[in-house]
Amino acid sequence: MPEDVIHLNLFTMNSVEHVTVGSWRYPGDQSARYRDRTYWTEVARTAERGGFDGVFFADVRGIYDVYGGSRDPAIERAVQTPSNDPAYLVPAMAEVTDHLGFAVTKSTSYTHPYQLAREFSTLDHLTDGRVAFNVVTSYLESAAANLGLGERLGHDERYDRAQEFMEVCYALWEDSWEDGAVVRDAAAGRFTDPAKVHTIDHAGEHFDVVGPHGCEPSPQRTPVIYQAGSSDRGRAFAAANAEAVFVSQPTPEQVREYVDDLRSRAADHGRDPDELMFFPGIVPIVGATAELAEAKHESYREHVDVEGVLALLSGFVDVDLSELDPDQKIEHIETEAIQGTVNAFAGGESTWTVREMAQFAGLGTTSPVVVGTPAEVADELQWWFEEVGVDGFNVKEVARPGSLADFVDLVLPELRERGLVRESYEGATLRENLTGRRRLSETHPARQ
């Protein structure tokens, strides 16, 4: 096992804006360079210099067109549009790094498992085992309209499809090619032993896939599985599949409840509950002094594009927030989109108004914003790690790439001094760096 250290993902998107809408206008911000390969190779080098486990790429299909019933606000304000496919950045970023991992988001609603298994096997080969698959089911209705499916599938039905999707992928990655199938015996003219390559013969409700897998086994076989389910059905899916889980609950109590619930559900699947790793998002805003950090925070807040944030959140929750009174309290909403996000702001002791939610969410949606000196930011991360029991963080950038560079140059030396982050990478693959294992755990349902 790697030492018990804080693990870090940079949380970003191959687009102008991800979850800090308006920040592209911040002086010196380079988000508009997202089309430029050298922007991403610089990001990769900086993240690896900081000892990050991975760069995590969010991705969506479709346009945020729920707010005001129009796509115009999202297009005008660059709300996750325009964006490019993240998978193609991976080989370029892998080329300039040796250890950094890459988590790529793909939707089980809009692709086919045979196709996806091939894409990830290819990436895993090209990166020497440094990829993760962030499994999403997609929440935007506008995506369904683009991909020939008519109406978006219902929330729970998307998860049913996702579960079968994963079973097909696991069979292709884990069971189709035995170890040692590739013999490369030039004298005998025999590259692969056909007796060791098997069909998977999957016949299910959503997919029929005969196999065998077209790719030989890659270093990790199954990429590291990331997931972020908040609803009851989403939690069930995460407990059965995820190795690393993204946590979006905004308070420590809600995070603890989530972690305990998922670990107990994982045990119900015969898994070792401690194998699940938990990553809340965090928005670090750091300055050499508390005053400088606060000034930076103020300036970031001034650049928040409130209407753009409401367009983003309306897409997340599939509710047109332009119709609500800004001072109205958010109530529990049953939605076909992201159930967890809206309900994080609803009910309980901490009830939010629409306006408060938008202001808070402008710097990284539901994640805590931590403002302070390197020591103060490190204190906060240490507290979450030691007292709440999370395994690490998705570090969200505000100004790009300045927020990442600040974190690497100011906060990481402080964490390193406290022995809370790694001195150097222990493993060759992403899974080894996260868990010490190269392959999926033997208690994971894919291997049982």
Ligand X SMILES: Cc1cc2nc3c(=O)[nH]c(=O)nc-3n(C[C@H](O)[C@H](O)[C@H](O)COP(=O)(O)O)c2cc1C
Q: Which residues bind ligand X (CB under 6 A)?
A: 58-60, 105, 136-139, 155, 228-231, 234, 246, 248, 281, 338-340, 394
- Tell me, what DSSP letter sits at residue 83? B
| 3-state DSSP assignment of residue 412 | helix
- Residue 176 or 343: which CB sits closer to ligand X? 343
Task: Judge contact between 219 and 124, C-beta under 8 A.
Answer: yes
225 in helix, strand or coil?
strand
User: How far, in Å, CA of 40 to CA of 15, rounded?
Assistant: 11
Give 220 or 365: the residue with its C-beta nearer to ligand X.
365
Which residue of the chain is nearest ligand X when measured via CB? 234
Query: Which residues have C-beta within 8 Å of that of residue 165, sequence separation ≥ 6?
Result: 108, 113, 116, 206, 207
d(CA 290, CA 293): 5
In the complex with ligand X, which residue's Cβ is closer, 48 or 59? 59
Nearest to 433, CA basis, from 125, 159, 51: 51
| Nearer of residues 249 and 433 to ligand X, judged by Cβ | 249
Q: At closest approach, how far in Å is the CB of 336 from ligand X? A: 9
- Which residues are within 8 A (CB) of 261 and not within 5 positions of it... i.e. 6 or more apart? 235
Name the token pair of 128: 């020497």
Which residue, 228 or 330, is less far from ligand X as judged by CB? 228
Nearer residue to ligand X within complex by CB, 155 or 161: 155
| 315 versus 374: smaller Cβ distance to ligand X | 315
Closest CB 39 distance from ligand X, rounded Å: 19
- 394: β partners: 9, 281
Number of Cβ within 10 Å of residue 76's Cβ equals 14
Min. distance of Cβ 166 from ligand X in angstroms? 14
Residue 193's nearest CA partner among 201, 204, 185, 202 is 185
Choice between 179 and 334, CB closer to ligand X: 334
First-residue to last-residue Cα distance in the chain: 21
- Nearest distance from C-beta of residue 306 to ligand X, angstroms: 22
Q: Count Cα atoms within 13 angstroms, Cβ side, for 227.
A: 25
What is the distance between the alpha carbons of residues 307 and 313, in angstroms, rounded to a whole number? 10
Whole-angstrom Cα distance, residue 109 to residue 415? 40
Amino acid at 283: V
Minimum gap (Å) between residue 186 Cβ and ligand X: 44
Residue 404: CB minimum distance to ligand X, A: 17
- For residue 162, how many C-alpha atoms fall within 13 Å in the half-sphere facing its CB? 30
Least CB distance from residue 158 to ligand X, whole Å? 8
Q: Please give the Cα distance from 427 to 352 (Å, whole number).
A: 43
CB of 283 to ligand X, least distance (A): 12
CB of 220 to ligand X, least distance (A): 21
Give 163 or 394: the residue with its C-beta nearer to ligand X: 394
365 or 373, CB closer to ligand X? 365
Tell the smallest beta-carbon distance from residue 198 to ligand X (Å): 32
Closest CA relative to residue 139, chosen from 336, 7, 326: 336
